[in-house]
A = this chain, B = another copy of it.
Amino acid sequence: MAIKKQRAVRRTDALSKERIVEAAIEILDSGGEGALTFRALAAHLATGSGAIYWHVANKDDLLAAATNDVIARVMADPAGGARPREAIRALALGLFDAIDVHPWVGTQLSRAPWLAAIPQIFEGFGSRLEELGVPEEAQFDATSTLVIHVLGVAGQNAANARLHAHRTDRTVFLGEIAQQWAQLDPARYPFVHRVAAQLPEHDDREQFLAGIDLILGGIGAAHPGPSSRT
């Protein structure tokens, strides 16, 4: 009897915010940011486009919920008893990988600083810096720099993914940009010329981590704590 009652209350095919968000994530992942329309979503859910508005305020609300979902999953990862420095690197890489799989998350994060995902990321980095012995006055700036680095790379990766969509290959795409850079006046752009050759083969993930390490190095240099002693 209890089962019957539950079934009546919660039909298998009933619409809910969770189901809508889940479907939105599927569409975003498979078709990219441009593929998510209320019409496509309604078709995917076999309902009318207006029905979605009963569960979701508007498209921004939907994208926010989808983004928070993905980030919450990353933050729920243990990253266990690792030492703070390693925990920061692990968290950063976890975020990078999630955004790599869901490039649209990068767009959202760099467009909406009021998302619930943002304080989660702040907490993740900030509390580890506290453990590292960074003095309290310096924690806000240092944490913000780490967060900005993650969001900055997220935005660039999302932009790259938007072009990928219709391309064969990432290396081909970067090769085209490298070619444009190589065509600039070498007298005015000597550095860009030198770097253009490295562009197609460089590893985004490694460069992202190098940035994190540079920032951590700067924090350590400014505030030499017990754990950063060599």
- Quick check: A119 and B184 within 8 Å, CB to CB? yes
| Closest CB in chain B relative to A185 CB, distance in Å | 10
Total identical chains: 2
- Quick check: A141 and B195 within 8 Å, CB to CB? no
| Closest CB in chain B relative to A146 CB, distance in Å | 9
| A122 CB contacts on chain B under 8 angstroms | 191-192, 195
**Chain A 143-165 near chain B by CB (<8 Å), digits 1 or 0:** 11100110111011011101100
- Quick check: B211 and A144 within 8 Å, CB to CB? yes
User: Across the two chains, which residue of chain B brings its CB closest to A219?
Assistant: B214
A19 close to B (CB within 8 Å): no
A136 close to B (CB within 8 Å): yes
| Closest CB in chain B relative to A58 CB, distance in Å | 15
| Closest CB in chain B relative to A200 CB, distance in Å | 12
Complex Cα spacing A221 to B122, Å:
25
Q: List which A97-134 residues lie within 8 A (CB) of chain B.
A: 107, 110-114, 119, 122-123, 126-127, 130
| A180 CB contacts on chain B under 8 angstroms | 114, 119
A38 close to B (CB within 8 Å): no
A216 close to B (CB within 8 Å): yes
- Quick check: B141 and A210 within 8 Å, CB to CB? yes
Given A145-B215, A218-B218, answer yes or no on A113-B156 (Cβ-Cβ < 8 Å).
yes
Complex Cα spacing A189 to B107, Å:
25
User: Across the two chains, which residue of chain B brings its CB closest to A155?
Assistant: B110
Looking at A114, A139, A155, A177, which has the most chain B CB atoms within 10 Å of its CB? A155
Query: Could you jot down 5 A-B contacts, CB within 8 Å?
Result: A113-B159, A140-B202, A144-B207, A144-B211, A214-B222
